[in-house]
Structure 1
Amino acid sequence: MQVAVIGAGVVGVCTAYFLAEAGHEVVVMERRNNIAEEASFGDAGILAADAVAPWAAPGMPKSLFSLLMKPESPLFLNRTWDPALWSWMRRWVKECDIERYRHNRRLMHRVAAYSQEVMQYLRDRHQLDYEQTTGYLQVYRTERELQQAKAAFDFLTESGIRHDILAMEDVRLLEPALNSSARLAGGLHLPQAESGNCPLFARQIRQLAQAMGVEFHFGCDVKAIHQSYRGVLMQVDDLNLSADAVVLATGADSAALLAPLGMRLPTQPVRYYAATATIRNFESVPLNALMDETYKTSIARMGNRIRIAGTAELGARTATQREAALNTLLKVAYDWFPDACHYNAATFWSGNSLMLPDGVPLIGSTSIRNVFLNIGHGTAGWAMAAGAGKLAADIVSERATDIAVDGLSSLRYQH
């Protein structure tokens, strides 16, 4: 078939690759001037499938909302009355129920663990090097945070996932560069998890996709999608282009294309922030990718640089970067690895990802014939991209998928 993929982030590029591998004629349309220029560009770099979890977790509303008043909060909420945002927040709070959390995390882990296998396949087949390192460490500053993480620890144990719950002394032995004066209660270590450079990986997959005949068109603003006698009709700038099928990998802008089709899904663009700093002292850099559970901020090495990423801003009205969010990133970096980088010369980024209340992405068919989705991965976009791309390609091709896809389609919201 002729298949159009809208969006050239890491999810869209992976989708195009696997569609081409399945034998389709594929065109990718991207409104920016290159691939991976939005959420994928500022990706945290974490490929920890076993750590992928919904933000909607037991105790999370109380924890996050208590931080809203603090200057270094990991959450920023536009207090202007926005009915759509507050409706989304109510749904999100309901998903923090323990049973909903377990259900949602199982679905997310299913996709992320499968994606890890697909990444291994891609790396082995094509000898990819995307500045990857192994090991992921979650650090907890207080005993209270450790107690709140019990549901997450229980999930890992019940799922048979290799992990180590570490006392403070063991965390410092595992990560000797940690600032000795930083407050620390304990940690969780996932030894098999990875981190790396997401935009570099996306560029490598693009080259492989192009070698299979995939065409990439940039500066294309897809304004609307309509059904047609042969498949779908897309309004691209002032042109009408047709295809047999279309896959939306459109990230934060998905709602504008879906609403005219009658799909009003509970999506919410969430702005995330990242800082990238050049390493100045290689003896002081982390050996593992690190997640500060207090500030929901990660630190990962990418070659000779460090990426610090996190904080979430809901209801952002402008593209202006929030100074408090940038300060939170730098605080976390200085707290844990004060001598590692030239933080005063860091470059900053902010951009939107699409999030659903339950955190589970939308992958596969919709109620609209020949329109498929691969959206809503939130901050776990790269961790799910390869697997989600393969799943979407198999569904478009009407092939049996390697893993179950129940619970992943948009139909869970359309009843």
Structure 2
Amino acid sequence: MKIIILGSGVIGVSSAYFLAKAGHEVTVVDRQAGPALETSFGNAGEVSPGYSAPWAAPGLVFKAVKWLAMTYRPLVVRPPQLSPAMIRWGLQLLANCTDARYALNKGRMLRLAEYSRDCLTDLRAETGIQYDQRMQGTLQLFRKQKQVDGAAADMRVLDQFGVGYAMLDRAGCIAVEPALAGVAEKFVGGLRLPGDETGDCFKFTNALAELAAGLGVRFVNDTAIDEIRHDGGRITGIATKAGLMTADAYVLALGSYSPLLADSLGLRLPVYPVKGYSITVPITDATGAPESTVMDETYKVAVTRLGDRIRVGGTAELAGYDLTLYPARRRPLDFVVSDLFPKGGDISRATYWTGLRPMTPDGTPIIGATRYGNLFLNTGHGTLGWTMAAGSGRVLADIMSDRKPEIDVGDLDLGRYGRAA
């Protein structure tokens, strides 16, 4: 089958690789000059199945008000950017902030994320792909005892799905992240997720694109997508600046930009662009840098070691499609890495980046068929695109190849949003 994939981020490229492995003729189209030049470029570097959890959680409103009042606040809302799409998405998010919905959504996310980690492990063994990977887990660091006590609900879900973890005291945290010994007074404990990994998503995506090209995948870069054309029941082609492109089937994997094209088809994708920021800091003292990923639970900032660099990612900004690099949004990132790893890297030489995370109200991506017989979705992964990429690509390839996926996918497609979608 001839397939066109719209989008060459980590989700689009992973889809292309697994579809090509399944024997399909695949073309990937993107407006950028190469793979992974938008959201996949500078993310936090985490492959964290154990940390997979929806934003929508009991107590979110209270937490959001508190975050907005913090000096180094993890959440920013820009009122001038309020739109019907933001309001609609926000109301759907709030509807998921119950104990029952949180448990359901977190379990669904864990199912896909754990499977994706296994797919990534197999891919590494099969191809030898390299991307500054480290398999040393994630440490969710708690500065307050209240955070330790509040982790019980997450641990119950981890138990339900057989995800390994360990609750650590201060000494235990230092044992897995020795550089924290110098700032031991700043935290009380942490939740370690030993099955998590780290790696450079940009390097991974480009290395996988090379492997996909070796399987015959064609990448059409620098090509803006203007319109998806249809005859009412099927997609008939993709209008681009290079002309009309046609195939037997199509995959929409444009992350935050997916709803803009889907809207013209009458498909309302509940995906909203949540802006995130990162800095990349050169390591100056390896003994003062993190061994893997440390997630500061107070400031919602992840500090990850990627080769000879430290990637620091965080902040959630509701500002539509605005990609402005606001200086104030860098301050929480600078603060956390300097506070926890003061000797690890040279902040004065850091590079600053922003990207849009495609978030769904329930946290789970949208993967699967649509009411158009030959249009499929692989989008809405939020902050977990890198974590869920390999599994999402594999699942989609199975669905499109009429093979039974290895995990339950019945609740991953757009149908879970009912008639509103």
Change (3 A) 1:317 1:7: closer
Aligned-partner SS, 2:220:
strand
Among 248, 253, 257, the residue aligned to 2:257: 253
For residue 163 of structure 1, what is the amino acid of its counterpart? Y
TM-superposed CA distance for 1:182, in Å, is 4.8
Distance in structure 1 (CA, Å) of the matches to 2:282 and 2:351: 9
8 Å Cα contact 2:228-2:235 kept in structure 1: no
Distance in structure 2 (CA, Å) of the matches to 1:61 and 1:231: 41
8 Å Cα contact 2:234-2:375 kept in structure 1: no
Among 154, 158, 179, the residue aligned to 1:156: 158
8 Å Cα contact 1:119-1:386 kept in structure 2: yes
Change (3 A) 1:230 1:323: closer
Distance in structure 2 (CA, Å) of the matches to 1:230 and 1:333: 50
Q: Counterpart of 2:43?
A: 43
8 Å Cα contact 1:300-1:306 kept in structure 2: yes
Q: Counterpart of 2:369?
A: 365
For residue 222 of structure 2, what is the amino acid of its counterpart? G
Q: Deviations over 1:36-81 (max 9, x none)?
A: 0001001211112121111112223211221202231001111234
Q: Counterpart of 1:185?
A: 188
Moved more, 228-237 or 294-303: 228-237
8 Å Cα contact 1:15-1:389 kept in structure 2: yes
Q: Counterpart of 2:110?
A: 109
Among 246, 252, 269, the residue aligned to 1:242: 246
For residue 227 of structure 2, what is the amino acid of its counterpart? A
Moved more, 95-104 or 222-231: 222-231
Change (3 A) 1:230 1:164: closer
Distance in structure 1 (CA, Å) of the matches to 2:184 and 2:177: 14
Distance in structure 2 (CA, Å) of the matches to 1:50 and 1:76: 26
**Which runs of no fewer than 5 residues in structure 1 stay unpaired?**
none
Distance in structure 1 (CA, Å) of the matches to 2:321 and 2:47: 30
Q: Counterpart of 1:173?
A: 175
TM-superposed CA distance for 1:281, in Å, is 0.4
8 Å Cα contact 1:360-1:376 kept in structure 2: yes
Q: Counterpart of 1:333?
A: 337
TM-superposed CA distance for 1:265, in Å, is 2.2
8 Å Cα contact 1:72-1:324 kept in structure 2: no
Distance in structure 1 (CA, Å) of the matches to 2:60 and 2:153: 12
Identity %: 39
TM (normalized to structure 1)? 0.97
Aligned-partner SS, 1:177:
helix
For residue 388 of structure 2, what is the amino acid of its counterpart? M
Q: Counterpart of 2:391?
A: 387
Q: Deviations over 1:254-287 (max 9, x none)?
A: 1111011111122211111010010000111112
For residue 102 of structure 2, what is the amino acid of its counterpart? Y
8 Å Cα contact 1:269-1:354 kept in structure 2: yes
Q: Counterpart of 2:352?
A: 348
Q: Counterpart of 1:127?
A: 128
TM-superposed CA distance for 1:149, in Å, is 2.5
> Displaced runs of 4+ in structure 1, greater than 3 A?
228-231
Q: Counterpart of 2:219?
A: 216
RMSD: 1.5
Change (3 A) 1:230 1:103: closer
Moved more, 274-283 or 168-177: 168-177
Distance in structure 2 (CA, Å) of the matches to 1:326 and 1:213: 41
Moved more, 289-298 or 146-155: 146-155
1:86 partnered with 2:90: no
TM-superposed CA distance for 1:31, in Å, is 0.6
TM-superposed CA distance for 1:112, in Å, is 0.7
Q: Deviations over 1:362-381 (max 9, x none)?
A: 00101111000000001100
Among 300, 305, 308, the residue aligned to 1:304: 308
Distance in structure 1 (CA, Å) of the matches to 2:198 and 2:204: 11
Q: Deviations over 1:72-120 (max 9, x none)?
A: 1001111234332122212212212111011011111111111111101
Q: Counterpart of 1:20?
A: 20
For residue 216 of structure 1, what is the amino acid of its counterpart? F
Distance in structure 1 (CA, Å) of the matches to 2:306 and 2:121: 19
Moved more, 301-310 or 140-149: 140-149
For residue 171 of structure 1, what is the amino acid of its counterpart? C
TM-superposed CA distance for 1:214, in Å, is 0.4
